[in-house]
Chain A
Amino acid sequence: MEKLHNSLDFHKRTLLTGGLILVFIWSLFSIKWGPDLLHPGGGTILLQIIKALFHPNLSSEILKLSLISAWRTLAYAVAGMTLAIAFAFILGILASGVLAKDKPGRLISKGILRGLLGFMRAIHELVWAWLFVASIGLTPFAAIFALVIPYGGTLGRIFADILNDVPEEPISALKSSGASKLQLLLYGYLPFAKTDMISYTMYRFECAVRSSTIMSFVGLGGLGYQIQLALQDLNYNDVWTYLFFLVALVVVIDFWSNILRRGLVE
């Protein structure tokens, strides 16, 4: 019986894989394949771009500009993340329902807040940025708010999930010794959830750096803006210099989060 079940399972998987491959091939048919897809001279431009990869512009001016731009990109990512963490922490705790007194209360707070968090993260940060620019103009806050909303939504949802996954036993032990809801949270839930919360936050921080790069589209300076300018001037060598700085920024944060994760898991 188990064997039959296993083989059925296997077939389900094969069927799904086959279906997915078919869907992919179907999607390829939506394009009219041919030389029209390339710009005239697109091939030469591609070669130029690839050639420039090996000769990034390393003049001191560009390096200085890259450093400042990289800092601006980082600063906005950090500024956005600070607010996002604060919002996510509050909303996440409420959405996990650990503070609710009774069952209907928990369901209501869970339902409403999870819906809110879902809406916050359903819309991409760049779309938020456009909406903010249209309503409050080109200020640094348009970029920061645009980062805060989707990142707060994602982090909040994950925080809520992590809090819900905390093992039951220590919590019920605390409960039976007469701890209040707040004490349960402070001494039961949070110490358990801390490690996961921090390592996920670090991962999101890395993503925030990338998002803050693309905020150049709504007029925020930084690496993305410089890349855009350099591309318009067809300075591919400069483009690669900025890209290398961006990669370095992401790699450093990745390295930091790896060390921190190792430090947290004892």
Chain B
Amino acid sequence: MKQNKRDLKLFKFGVVKLSLLLALILMIASWMFVYKVDHADFLGLFSAKNAFYSKKFLKGLLGIGAKSPAFLSIDSWQVALKLTYETLQMSIMAIGFATLGMIFTVIPAARNATNGTLTVSKKWYSQILFGIIRSAYIFSRAIPELVWAMIIIFVFKPGILAGALALGIYNFGILGKLCTEVVEDLDLKPIRNLASCGAGTGQILLYGIIPTVMPKFMTFIFYRWEVIIRTPIVVGFVGAGGLGQQFKFSMSYFQYSELSLLLICYLLLVAFADLLSEGSRRAIR
């Protein structure tokens, strides 16, 4: 026993040391790769040409030299705010899709539901279902939302729905992972009680599981929504609607003052979302 414990300690110490070593090797190899193969040149960044372009870009953003900077015209503001509103709708739709997907899959994806300790009944197909859903979670969260958007744009026409779907798929995996952990950490005693009183699977779900996990689920949903609100601009780049699409257009047409207007709207949206989700989280606490 003592021997075992010492072995374990040694193993743990070894893991930490090895990880540090591996991290160091990775860092050195990566920087060497970036410098040698991709010819990164740090000092070359400070060339006169770059300085000229940076200056021009910054001036453009601030609207210096432009005849009518976009952030001073009411029409541009109206367009930008409408896009912001669309972006907000897209983010809500996205978190809605993700939540719906998560709610339907979270119970079969929890380990304690699969081996029958949660619902006190074990089905032959639960192992298979567990495997499928878990791999779906891993897949959907390993692939970034932008890549999802790139694929989805092949099927759906550009617009809010395409963006919302891409964001929804990506966040479905993350929400699923977070929420299965909540279900797996459930205190089983109340459920045992319910089961011994003769409650069926549906009743256990309704009275035993949902009330306990709901507050935590809400926290996660709000947390993901806060993240999602930052990303519609990204899926917009591939034409999935909202602020991002306009951002890309303005970039391509070198209308930099419009760009800063869009950035202002974007920051306002992010701040608004942070406030809202903070408030609601406090309300359910």
Interface residues of A (CB under 8 A from B): 12-13, 16-17, 23-24, 26-28, 30-31, 36-39, 42-43, 45-46, 49, 71-72, 74-76, 78-79, 82, 122-124, 126-127, 130-131, 134-137, 139-141, 144, 210-211, 213-214, 217, 221, 224, 227-228, 231, 239, 243, 246-247, 249-251, 256, 259-260, 262-264, 266
Minimum CB–CB distance for A63 against chain B, Å: 18
State whether B154 touches A82 (Cβ < 8 A): no
Our pick among A37, A39, A130, A246 for the contact of B154 (Cβ within 8 Å) is A39
State whether B150 touches A136 (Cβ < 8 A): no
Q: Nearest 7 A-B pairs (CB), nearest first?
A: A263-B15, A24-B96, A78-B30, A250-B142, A75-B30, A140-B40, A135-B54
Q: What are 5 A-B contacts defined by CB distance under 8 Å?
A: A27-B90, A36-B157, A39-B157, A76-B30, A141-B45
Q: With an 8 A cutoff between CB atoms, is B143 at the interface?
A: yes
Chain A residue with Cβ nearest B27 = A82
Tell me the bound Cα distance from A135 to B52 in angstroms. 9
Tell me the bound Cα distance from A232 to B27 in angstroms. 33
Tell me the bound Cα distance from A137 to B266 in angstroms. 24
Chain B residue with Cβ nearest A266 = B12
Our pick among B54, B147, B157, B215 for the contact of A214 (Cβ within 8 Å) is B147
Minimum CB–CB distance for B252 against chain A, Å: 10
State whether A79 touches B34 (Cβ < 8 A): yes
Other A-B pairs, 9, CB within 8 Å; known A24-B95, A74-B30, A263-B11: A30-B86, A37-B159, A38-B155, A49-B154, A78-B27, A136-B45, A137-B53, A227-B150, A247-B138
Chain B residue with Cβ nearest A202 = B19
Tell me the bound Cα distance from A243 to B219 in angstroms. 30
Tell me the bound Cα distance from A251 to B285 in angstroms. 33
State whether B12 touches A263 (Cβ < 8 A): yes
Residues of chain B within 8 A (CB-CB) of A122 are 230, 267, 270-271
Contact status of A38 and B93, CB under 8 A, knowing A82-B27, A247-B139: no
Contact status of A13 and B266, CB under 8 A, knowing A135-B54, A210-B144, A243-B143: no
State whether B143 touches A27 (Cβ < 8 A): no
State whether A39 touches B151 (Cβ < 8 A): no
Q: With an 8 A cutoff between CB atoms, is B209 at the interface?
A: no
Minimum CB–CB distance for A129 against chain B, Å: 10
Tell me the bound Cα distance from A37 to B157 in angstroms. 6
Tell me the bound Cα distance from A135 to B270 in angstroms. 24
Residues of chain B within 8 A (CB-CB) of A79 are 27, 30-31, 34
Chain B residue with Cβ nearest A75 = B30
State whether B283 touches A12 (Cβ < 8 A): yes
Residues of chain A within 8 A (CB-CB) of B233 are 124, 126-127
Mask of B239-274 contacts with A, CB within 8 angstroms, 1/0: 000000001000100001000000100110011000
Tell me the bound Cα distance from A250 to B135 in angstroms. 13
State whether B34 touches A126 (Cβ < 8 A): no
Residues of chain A within 8 A (CB-CB) of B75 are none
Q: Which of B214-234 contact A (CB under 8 A)?
A: 214-215, 218, 230-231, 233-234
Minimum CB–CB distance for B162 against chain A, Å: 8
Q: With an 8 A cutoff between CB atoms, is B50 at the interface?
A: yes
Minimum CB–CB distance for A145 against chain B, Å: 9
Residues of chain A within 8 A (CB-CB) of B146 are 126, 214, 217, 224
Mask of B93-112 contacts with A, CB within 8 angstroms, 1/0: 10110010000000000000
Residues of chain B within 8 A (CB-CB) of A76 are 30, 34
Tell me the bound Cα distance from A223 to B261 in angstroms. 32
State whether B144 touches A37 (Cβ < 8 A): no
State whether B93 touches A27 (Cβ < 8 A): yes
Contact status of A124 and B15, CB under 8 A, knowing A78-B26, A139-B41: no
Tell me the bound Cα distance from A79 to B28 in angstroms. 9
Q: With an 8 A cutoff between CB atoms, is B280 at the interface?
A: yes
State whether A263 touches B155 (Cβ < 8 A): no
State whether A124 touches B27 (Cβ < 8 A): no
State whether B156 touches A42 (Cβ < 8 A): yes
Q: With an 8 A cutoff between CB atoms, is B42 at the interface?
A: yes
